[in-house]
Amino acid sequence: MRCKNCEHVLWNQPAPAAGEQRLCSECGEAYRVADFSFERGKVRFCCPDCDTAYYGTSAQGHLEPAEFDCVGCGRHLSMELCVLRPHDERREADAMQRVDLPWIVGRGDGRFRRWYTTAALSLTNSGRIAPMLGRAPQPLRAAGFLAINATVACAGAAVPYLLFVLIGVGAGGGLGGDAMAVVLAIAAYLTIVAALVVGAALPAGAVALGMSAFGAKRGGDRFWRAYEVACYSSGGLLIAVLPCCGGLLGGFWWMVQCAQAFAAVYASEGARFRIAAAALSVVGFVVGVGLVGILVSAL
Ligand SMILES: [Zn+2]
Ligand SMILES: [Zn+2]
């Protein structure tokens, strides 16, 4: 059990007075026991007065019922008022329930399944992404996920363009004399797809730059973690496979989900802080998209 802001160990921290927030003793970050999931029976929730231990039985390893009177001293308790200790101090890591992003773990799942479960999550609820990134950042893995989404999106969005070119060539007198034109059109198309797939890293990078600067003051988001969050929120790009205006919508939806993901990073802060995080991620995103525009128009 670690502070989500500074990684400080939160086991054995003194319980807060009733009605007060639990604060990380290292950085002062507020946290709730409910923000963590534990393995059932691996955590002792101890009464701060008499040290009687209780064990969580819910799916998250939380205490059931949520409030009760201590059998040792009669004090009214909830798990937020308890001192938490791992059942086995030498194996405290085993006490935590690990929920990783499917793309990263997916025990035994194929690559396709890991991709689409992660993409579905980032298409609909990016706020859940950051808490699932508990391991050391793996930026290449995140970049791979983004590249797949960008490829699918480009391929889908560009089909009408290709059809248009082919029909144009067909109407212009058959394929015979214009085979070269078709080859050129396909080559141009592939070049643009490649540029967009590589270029998709620019919005993610620009967002990560802004968000790591934003979080730095609080010891929060480092660059590669922020880059991961930006990449994993890119499921929205898949909307680009819709005919006609899908390309724009896909980019827009990635931006929205990216903002949501970063707002969730600061879930324990005030609303102002969350809005600032979301807004800054949008600014970074727009700057990054501008860079992609320059890249593509230079081709
Ligand atoms: Zn802390
Ligand atoms: Zn007690």
Ligand with smallest separation from the Cα of 81? 2
How far does the centroid of ligand 1 lie from the alpha carbon of residue 219, in Å? Answer: 9
Kindly state whether residues 53 and 79 are assigned to the same domain. Answer: yes
Which one, of 237, 99, 96, lies nearest residue 156 by Cα? Answer: 237
Q: Is residue 1 part of a domain?
A: no
Q: Is residue 6 part of a domain?
A: no
Q: What is the pLDDT of residue 176?
A: 55
Kindly state whether residues 169 and 293 are assigned to the same domain. Answer: yes
How far does the centroid of ligand 2 lie from the alpha carbon of residue 90, in Å? Answer: 25
How far does the centroid of ligand 2 lie from the alpha carbon of residue 31, in Å? Answer: 23
Taken in order 259, 97, 134, 148, the sign of the CA dihedral is: negative
What does DSSP assign to residue 136? S
Range of the domain at 165: 111-297
Kindly state whether residues 89 and 214 are assigned to the same domain. Answer: no
Taken in order 135, 138, 144, 150, the sign of the CA dihedral is: positive
The neighbourhood of ligand 1, an ion, using CB within 5 A, equals 3, 5-6, 8, 24, 26-27, 29
**Residues 129, 122: contact at Cβ < 8 Å?**
yes
Beta strands in the chain (DSSP E): 22-23, 30-31, 43-46, 53-55, 67-69, 76-78, 83-86
Ligand with smallest separation from the Cα of 82? 2
How far does the centroid of ligand 1 lie from the alpha carbon of residue 6, in Å? Answer: 4
Q: What is the pLDDT of residue 219?
A: 47
Ligand with smallest separation from the Cα of 72? 2
pLDDT means per 10 residues in the chain (299 residues)? 78 87 89 88 94 92 92 94 90 74 78 91 87 83 93 80 71 61 79 85 90 70 86 91 77 92 78 87 91 83
How far does the centroid of ligand 1 lie from the alpha carbon of residue 23, in Å? Answer: 8
**Residues 296, 197: contact at Cβ < 8 Å?**
no
Kindly state whether residues 161 and 54 are assigned to the same domain. Answer: no
Ligand with smallest separation from the Cα of 25? 1
Query: Which of the listed residues 66, 95, 124 is the one where a domain comes to its end?
Result: 95
Kindly state whether residues 74 and 143 are assigned to the same domain. Answer: no
Apex CA 106: angle with CA 103 and CA 109, to 5°?
A: 110
Kindly state whether residues 264 and 131 are assigned to the same domain. Answer: yes
How far does the centroid of ligand 1 lie from the alpha carbon of residue 199, in Å? Answer: 36
Kindly state whether residues 213 and 280 are assigned to the same domain. Answer: yes
Extract the tokens encoding 66.
Answer: 């949520």
Strands 67-69 and 83-86: unpaired
How far does the centroid of ligand 2 lie from the alpha carbon of residue 70, in Å? Answer: 5
How far does the centroid of ligand 1 lie from the alpha carbon of residue 267, in Å? Answer: 15
Kindly state whether residues 133 and 262 are assigned to the same domain. Answer: yes
Which amino acid would we find at residue 293?
G
Strands 22-23 and 76-78: unpaired
**What is the rounded distance in angstroms from the CA atom of residue 206 to the CA atom of residue 129?**
19
**Residues 287, 294: contact at Cβ < 8 Å?**
no
Number of domains making up the chain: 2
How far does the centroid of ligand 1 lie from the alpha carbon of residue 43, in Å? Answer: 20
**What is the rounded distance in angstroms from the CA atom of residue 200 to the CA atom of residue 234?**
9
How far does the centroid of ligand 1 lie from the alpha carbon of residue 218, in Å? Answer: 9
Residue reference for tokens 């797949």: 148
Query: Which of the listed residues 95, 122, 141 is the one where a domain comes to its end?
Result: 95
Q: Is residue 102 part of a domain?
A: no
**What is the rounded distance in angstroms from the CA atom of residue 35 to the CA atom of residue 185?**
53
Q: What is the pLDDT of residue 175?
A: 52
Can you say how many angstroms the Cα of residue 15 is from the centroid of all Cα atoms in its chain? 31
Kindly state whether residues 120 and 90 are assigned to the same domain. Answer: no
CB-facing half-sphere around the CA of 137: CA atoms within 13 A: 18
Kindly state whether residues 86 and 125 are assigned to the same domain. Answer: no
How far does the centroid of ligand 2 lie from the alpha carbon of residue 82, in Å? Answer: 9
How far does the centroid of ligand 1 lie from the alpha carbon of residue 3, in Å? Answer: 5
**What is the rounded distance in angstroms from the CA atom of residue 256 to the CA atom of residue 251?**
9
Kindly state whether residues 136 and 237 are assigned to the same domain. Answer: yes
